[in-house]
Amino acid sequence: MTATFQYLSQEWRDEAEKRLTIELPPERMNFVTSSMSNIYQNCPPDGSEKYLFFKFENGKFAQLLVGTGTPPKAEFAIAGDYQTFAKITRGELGAQKALMTLKLKLKGNMVKALKLASLADRLNKVLATIPTEY
Amino acid sequence: MTHHTNIKNPYFIDFPKRIKDIQAEMGSQGIDCYLGSRLRTLSWTADAFCPWRSFVVIPADGLPTVFTFVIDAARVADDSWLGEDNVMGFAPMGGQDQIEQIADFIKDFLKNGRGRIGVESGMSNYLPEGWLTHYEYTQFQAALSGCELINAHTLIDKLALIKDQGTINRFKEASRIVDIGHHAVFDAIKDGGYKGMTETEIAGIAALAMRKAGSEWEWSFTGGNEIASGYRTGFAGGACTPASRRQLQPGEPLMVDIHAMFKLGLGDHSHNYLMAPVTDRQRWHADNFVDIVKTTLETYRAGTTPSLLAEKMMGFAEERGFADYMVPGFEHGIGLMGDEWRIGLNDGPFPYWTNPDHVYQENELLICAMQYACPDDNIGFRYENPIVIHADHCEPLSKFPLGVDEIR
């Protein structure tokens, strides 16, 4: 029986790190150096705010943090409702549509974000493979 | 690009100094951040053509940042002296629309999110001026609550009034290119070559020659290359003639008003022709026109004003009996792309129109623009040429020989 991980738990983070490291080698990440914080609002059960912080250096997966409160400073910050991120991770909602319908808010240089959009999709696809309980 | 970094490059403009001058002026006026939206402000601060809605945010210290439609931001960053970290794209996405993105950006420069923000509000005859719209103003005001938005465009207008050598050299090169366009048109229409040609074809011949010579754009919003033939040259007050599909005819006038752009410097010169056979009446009109243009060019110099000049020239036209055919305006303002209307500052009796008592100073640049029109005779002529004002004369930048040439 496959293990299921609670979304944004330490165990889920560890599994995400393992999969991202294996499935997204530097060449798949176009040797990019960047960082991004996902800020989850209204997280169950208490409506708290959590973050998921990614950092890539020369395409190498360097850091993945989950936490509460203010996230580390990142080149891009994407904020939205916990359920919106959950839908994106489950593949029920596209990240671009979420941005265009104001379900997500992006902070950072949009031109650079455009260049990195396909990488973000790759990253989300890997995360979507983690058996997750939301 | 070397014209951004090499001070020996003839087209070099010291943009960092421009920004420091703006910031010094902001400091003296108690402005914490400047939000420019006019095309002329974008050109003058970023050195890039910004055809989409764009803004430039100039903080009290440091580099400005341009905000433009995301589809064009990478190109603007490539053209500008500013790098990609200082050219941002906006788009209809959460957190990325122009109001929220720019307001958030500005707040980062302000203490406790409060301060005085300079904006650009006004009116113009020039459609793509780029004043902050009422909607944008109210949205920025709401997004920047705690800030005072104050109209501050005069700050830029003052600093942009006297042209530096790099700007003048860009205009000289654009004018040299325009002259190439005029030679191409002349070669195409001479010796009966004009027969069967349309105004749009003439516009295209000039455009091809100028593009080959390096022009970036037939920049004029009045229709690119403005070509008029026959009765279309003689519209009363007519100073706007986008080319039509009208065919050139013997016995008619032809007005060729063409435009080239070189590194945002603007070439704009109009030359006129008469297609043979030419009547004495047509020649009389043509000679009147050439004489008043010559006299006007001899009169421009530092110290004169638009009203003094107009008075003298209309007196000359009255004496010669053709005052009825002269449009009583002899110039319009010019600067890097987007600066194409008012001369001087907004300090005249009619807000946002040229002050008729504006006193010309050395190294001001304007377009000497004259229109002669006799609708009853279906004839008219236009002269346009960028001129640099000097202490005791003016320097026309287009060198194509003045005249109304007869074409056989």
CATH number at residue A83: 3.30.1050.10
* Residue A9, in any domain of the structure: yes
d(CA A57, CA B20): 35
Write out chain A residues lying below 8 Å of B85, CB-based. Answer: 109
Predicted interface score ipTM higher than 0.90: no
Which secondary structure element, helix H or strand E, spans residue B143, and what is its range?
helix B134-143
Of the candidates B194, B281, B266, which has an alpha carbon nearest to the alpha carbon of residue B224? Answer: B266
- Asked: is B163-407 a CATH 3.30.590.10 domain? The reply is no
Closest CA in chain B for residue A102: B94
Write out chain B residues lying below 8 Å of A96, CB-based. Answer: 93
d(CA B259, CA B175): 8
* Residue A121, in any domain of the structure: no
Write out chain A residues lying below 8 Å of B84, CB-based. Answer: 109, 111-112
Confidence of residue A20 (pLDDT cuts 50, 70, 90): very high
CATH architecture of B2-160: 3-Layer(aba) Sandwich (3.40)
B67 touches B98 (CB < 8 A): yes
Of the candidates B374, B202, B189, B378, which has an alpha carbon nearest to the alpha carbon of residue B276? Answer: B189
Give the mutation candidate from A41, A109, A112, A116 for the B interface (greatest B CB count, under 10 A).
A109
* Residue A134, in any domain of the structure: no
Q: Where are the domains of chain B?
A: 2-160, 163-407
What percent of chain A stands above pLDDT 70?
99
Query: What range defines the domain where residue A47 resides?
Result: 5-110
Strands B54-59 and B33-36 turn out to be antiparallel
B166-200: per-residue pLDDT in tens? 999 999 999 999 999 999 999 999 999 999 999 99
Closest CA in chain A for residue B66: A109
* Residue A37, in any domain of the structure: yes
Does residue B277 have a cis peptide bond before it, meaning omega lies within 30 degrees of 0?
yes
Which residue type, as a one-letter code, is found at position B195?
K
Task: Say if residue B354 is exposed, middle or buried (CB neighbours under 10 Å; 0-12, 13-18, 19+).
Answer: buried
Give the model's pLDDT for residue B237: 83
Which secondary structure element, helix H or strand E, spans residue B45, and what is its range?
helix B39-46
Give the model's pLDDT for residue B171: 98
Check whether A33 has a pLDDT greater than 80: yes
Give the model's pLDDT for residue A118: 87
CB atoms within 10 A of CB B318: 12
* Residue A99, in any domain of the structure: yes
d(CA B369, CA B384): 4
- The low-confidence residues of chain B, meaning pLDDT below 50, are none
Test B94 with A107 for CB contact under 8 angstroms: no
Test A109 with B89 for CB contact under 8 angstroms: yes
User: How many domains is chain A partitioned into structurally?
Assistant: 1
Q: In sequence order, which residues have a C-beta less than 8 Å from that of residue B403 and are 6 or more positions away?
A: B271, B290
* Residue A123, in any domain of the structure: no
Alpha carbon of B338: minimum distance to chain A alpha carbons (Å):
25
Give the model's pLDDT for residue B402: 98
Test B89 with A114 for CB contact under 8 angstroms: yes
What percent of chain A stands above pLDDT 90?
75
d(CA B251, CA B11): 43
User: Which residues in B133-152 are b (16+ Cβ under 10 Å) and which e?
Assistant: eeebbebbeebbeebebeeb
d(CA B380, CA B324): 12
Give the model's pLDDT for residue B2: 66
Q: In sequence order, which residues have a C-beta less than 8 Å from that of residue B108 and are 6 or more positions away?
A: none
Check whether A2 has a pLDDT greater than 80: no
Give the model's pLDDT for residue A3: 85
Give the closest of B77, B88, B92 to A100, CB-based: B92
* Residue A89, in any domain of the structure: yes
Give the model's pLDDT for residue A1: 58
Cα separations in angstroms, B251 against B185, B235, B244, B379: 18, 18, 18, 11
Give the model's pLDDT for residue B305: 97
* Residue A119, in any domain of the structure: no
Give the model's pLDDT for residue B3: 78
Q: In sequence order, which residues have a C-beta less than 8 Å from that of residue B39 and are 6 or more positions away?
A: B50, B54, B128, B129, B130, B337, B338, B339
A76-105: per-residue pLDDT in tens? 999 999 999 999 888 888 888 999 999 999
d(CA B256, CA B240): 12
Closest CA in chain A for residue B75: A111
pTM of whole model > 0.90? yes
Closest CA in chain A for residue B95: A105
Does residue B328 have a cis peptide bond before it, meaning omega lies within 30 degrees of 0?
no
